[in-house]
């Protein structure tokens, strides 16, 4: 691997740890827990790992722990800081007992099932400290859901003498980790399973998991890019930039980036759903702001659009739900649809099998967007929203509406558009100081959960708006976060996604300033993501968590 000057210098950064993890720990058990919903159903499915207490680590006297062999998996999409979680695990298990070993399973959960692994040594780990990406062992999206997979995993874990498995992933991956922990506990296999909260989307959080790792870095990277575009817009003064931001189910990324950059328009999917806003109403709102700015001689602006917006618009949500059923893998209608080589014929066929209301919406869409809605479903059987060019859909519809307004004498300006989608740009950035510290602490903390014999827990580091030394480390039972949801036609236990709350301080701050930012050019240019410099610049958490945790 070629080492850049940045990576070489960054390797020297020593991540900060909570004081409680700097030597030996004392485990303090808190209250017994229950799931956020569907308590009876979750308890029945997880009899061995349900109701466990919250755990907090405090500084304690030196203990002698036996050596442990630990396996680690990176699961799902990349997020900045994954390498630091693994570095923290490595340093943690070696601190517990120098004879401990760490194995990485290659290519995600599939590496466990297929017995593909590497022993992670100090020589390997030191190359990846404080770097972005998941390339140390790779990641994958294999779902650990079947007993045959669990048994194949147990084979290699036993063969390598691995006592515990750490799964670094998002809500689905940690749900799988919980199922695996329950299975091994029921079998009395002696294999512990611990989760770590990863997702740049920011939708894996609660009182015990204040933020998922990678969110801080990704939003700072996106905000730098948005700020650059805002400055360009304010310089050229001739384009509206429609920017789609990653985040399928939740608008946390869009909200945080708006708080950092103060764009003219910020759409929040959860608000659209609550207010039952139609596509036409959203377009009217956006066109109205364009017209007001044009009246002030400002024919430019920036609009932030969440990736999953179309699924929250009521008539689009109904249309997508129908399409998911009609075009379900293996269905007769899917086979018939795929037999059409002419796209226009395929669209006509789809329009003919939809309900009258959904057909009306479907046929009103630009043909390119209609085609994107009928692409192959994702592994969950849902439309792949990242492939839907929502920013272009809205841009075309706003342009059409402004044309109508011009005829009515309500718009007298110009409207030119530029389109952007920020997704991959933020997933593998070198972690910010905050994420470097947070991820290292999550991994180091996980090693103590293993040393204390725990399973079915997620590594938890809280009090994140305080200096790192004052962070609170511990563990939260994964079953505490679960509820039952319908997946592929069946009710399944899953970690409940945390969506943007419209009563939350971050959203209220946006709502209070939205009208001013819409008409005035109030852009903020955050600049490049910072690693060195004053604490007040470089070590700050996101505005989201600062507003949420301010009492």
For residue range 65-79, what is the model confidence (pLDDT) as tens digits?
999 999 999 999 999
The dihedrals phi and psi of 407, each to the nearest 5 degrees, come to: -65, -30
Which band of pLDDT confidence, cut at 50, 70 and 90, is reported for residue 380?
low
Query: φ and ψ at 185, to 5 degrees?
Result: -70, -40
Catalytic residue flag (residue 201) = yes
The 10s digit of each residue's pLDDT in 432-448 is 999 999 999 999 999 99
Please, are residues 212 and 204 in contact by the beta-carbon 8 Å criterion?
A: yes
Contacts of 475 (CB under 8 A, 6+ apart): 54, 55, 194, 445, 449, 454, 457, 458, 459, 460
Q: What's the predicted TM-score (pTM) here?
A: 0.93
Confidence tier at 8 by pLDDT (50, 70, 90): confident
Task: Kindly report which listed range (77-81, 115-119, 384-388, 498-502) carries the lowest average pLDDT score.
Answer: 384-388
Whether residue 16 has pLDDT greater than 70: yes
What is the rounded average pLDDT of the residues 232-239?
A: 98
Q: How do strand 240-245 and strand 265-266 relate by DSSP bridges?
A: unpaired
Determine the length of the chain.
Answer: 551
How far apart are alpha carbons 142 and 113 in whole angstroms? 9
User: Taking 70 as the threshold, does the pLDDT of residue 381 lie above it?
Assistant: no
Whole-number pLDDT of residue 1: 64
- For residue 534, pLDDT over 80 is answered with no
Q: List the domains of the chain with CATH numbers.
A: 33-214+432-495 (3.40.50.450)
- Statement: residue 220 has pLDDT above 90: yes
CA atoms of 541 and 537, how far apart (whole Å): 10
Task: Average the pLDDT over 192-212 and give the result.
Answer: 96
pLDDT score, position 379: 66
Task: Decide if pLDDT at 93 tops 70.
Answer: yes
Residue 376 has pLDDT above 80, yes or no: no
Q: Which residues of 328-366 are buried (b: 16+ CB within 10 A; e: fewer)?
A: eeeeeebeebeeeeeeeebbebbeeebeeebbebbeebe
The tens digit of pLDDT for each residue in 482-502 reads 999 987 668 999 999 999 999
Reply yes or no on whether the pLDDT at 274 is more than 70: yes
Rounded to an integer, the average pLDDT of 55-84 is 95
Residue pLDDT, tens place only, 120-132: 999 999 999 999 9
Q: Is the pLDDT of residue 378 over 90?
A: no
Categorize the per-residue pLDDT at 271 as very low, low, confident or very high, splitting at 50, 70 and 90.
Answer: very high
> What is the average pLDDT across 338-363?
92
Q: Considering the chain, what is the average pLDDT of its residues?
A: 94
Q: What is the pLDDT of residue 42?
A: 97
Give CA–CA dist 89/104, Å, rounded. 11
315/226 Cα distance (integer angstroms): 30
Q: Is the sign of the CA dihedral 21, 24, 28, 34 positive or negative?
A: positive
**Structure confidence by residue, pLDDT tens digits, 305-315:** 999 999 899 99
Among 107-111, 136-140, 359-363, the least confident range: 359-363
Residue 260 has pLDDT above 70, yes or no: yes
Average pLDDT of span 456-462: 98
Evaluate whether 210 touches 252 at the Cβ level (below 8 Å): no
Q: How much of the chain exceeds pLDDT 90, in percent?
A: 83
Residues whose CB is less than 8 angstroms from the CB of residue 155 and which lie 6 or more positions away in sequence, other chains included: 115
Please determine, for residue 198, whether its predicted confidence score (pLDDT) is greater than 70: yes
Strand order in the sheet with 457-462: 24-32, 53-60, 472-477, 457-462, 192-197, 164-169, 69-74, 101-105, 117-119
List the catalytic residue out of 171, 201, 203, 435.
201
Q: For residues 377 and 25, give the distance between their C-alpha atoms in angstroms, rounded to a whole number.
A: 47
pLDDT at residue 22 greater than cutoff 90: yes
Confidence band, pLDDT 50/70/90 cuts, at residue 47: very high
Is the distance from CB of 51 to CB of 34 less than 8 angstroms?
A: yes
Q: What percent of the chain has pLDDT over 70?
A: 99
Provide the pLDDT for residue 61: 87
Residue 545 has pLDDT above 80, yes or no: yes
């Amino acid at each position: 691997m070629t080492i850049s000057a940045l990576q070489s210098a960054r390797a020297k950064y020593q991540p900060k740890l909570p004081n409680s993890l700097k030597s030996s720990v004392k485990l303090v058990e808190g209250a017994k827990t229950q799931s956020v919903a569907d308590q009876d159903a979750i308890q029945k499915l997880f009899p061995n790992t349900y109701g466990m207490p919250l755990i907090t680590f405090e500084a304690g006297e030196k203990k002698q722990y036996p050596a442990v062999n630990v396996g680690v998996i990176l699961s799902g999409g990349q997020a900045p800081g994954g390498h630091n979680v693994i570095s923290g695990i490595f340093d943690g298990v070696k601190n517990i007992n120098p004879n401990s070993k760490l194995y990485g399973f290659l290519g995600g959960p599939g590496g466990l099932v297929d017995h593909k692994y590497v022993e992670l040594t100090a020589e390997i780990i030191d190359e990846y400290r404080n770097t972005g990406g998941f390339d140390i062992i790779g990641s994958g999206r294999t779902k650990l859901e079947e007993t045959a997979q669990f048994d194949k995993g147990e084979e290699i874990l036993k063969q390598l003498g691995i006592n515990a498995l750490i799964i670094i992933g998002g809500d689905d991956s940690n749900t799988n980790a919980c199922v695996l922990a329950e299975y091994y506990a029921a079998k009395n296999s002696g294999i512990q399973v611990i989760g770590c909260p990863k997702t740049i989307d920011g939708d894996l959080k609660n009182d015990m998991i204040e933020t998922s790792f990678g969110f801080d870095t990704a939003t700072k990277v996106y905000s730098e890019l948005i700020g650059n575009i805002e400055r360009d817009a304010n310089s050229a003064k001739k384009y509206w930039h429609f920017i789609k931001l990653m985040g399928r189910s939740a608008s946390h990324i869009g909200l945080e980036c708006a708080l950092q950059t103060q764009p003219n328009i910020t759409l929040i999917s959860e608000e659209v759903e609550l207010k039952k806003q139609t596509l036409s109403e959203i377009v009217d709102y956006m066109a109205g702001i364009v017209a007001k700015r044009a009246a002030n001689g400002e024919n430019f602006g920036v609009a932030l659009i969440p990736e999953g917006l179309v699924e929250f618009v009521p008539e689009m949500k109904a249309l997508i739900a129908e399409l998911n059923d009609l075009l379900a893998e293996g269905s007769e209608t899917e086979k018939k649809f795929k037999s059409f080589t002419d796209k226009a014929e395929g669209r006509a066929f789809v329009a003919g099998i939809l309900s009258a209301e959904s057909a009306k919406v479907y046929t009103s869409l630009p043909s390119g967007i209609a085609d994107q809605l009928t692409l192959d479903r994702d592994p969950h059987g849902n439309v792949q929203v990242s492939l839907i060019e929502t920013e272009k859909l809205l841009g075309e519809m706003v342009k059409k509406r402004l044309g109508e307004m011009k005829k009515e004498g309500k718009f007298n300006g110009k409207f030119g558009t530029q389109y952007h989608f920020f997704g991959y740009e933020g997933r593998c950035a070198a972690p910010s100081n905050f994420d470097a510290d947070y991820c290292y602490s999550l991994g180091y903390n996980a090693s103590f959960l293993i040393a204390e014999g725990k399973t079915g827990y997620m590594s938890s580091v809280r009090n994140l708006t305080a200096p790192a030394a004052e962070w609170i480390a511990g563990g939260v039972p994964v079953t505490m976060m679960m509820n039952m949801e319908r997946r592929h036609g069946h009710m399944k236990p899953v970690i409940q996604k945390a969506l943007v709350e419209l009563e939350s301080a971050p959203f209220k701050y946006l709502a209070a300033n939205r009208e001013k930012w819409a008409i005035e050019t109030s852009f903020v240019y955050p600049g490049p993501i910072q690693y060195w410099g004053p604490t007040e610049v470089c070590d700050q958490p996101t505005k989201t968590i600062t507003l949420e945790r301010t009492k």
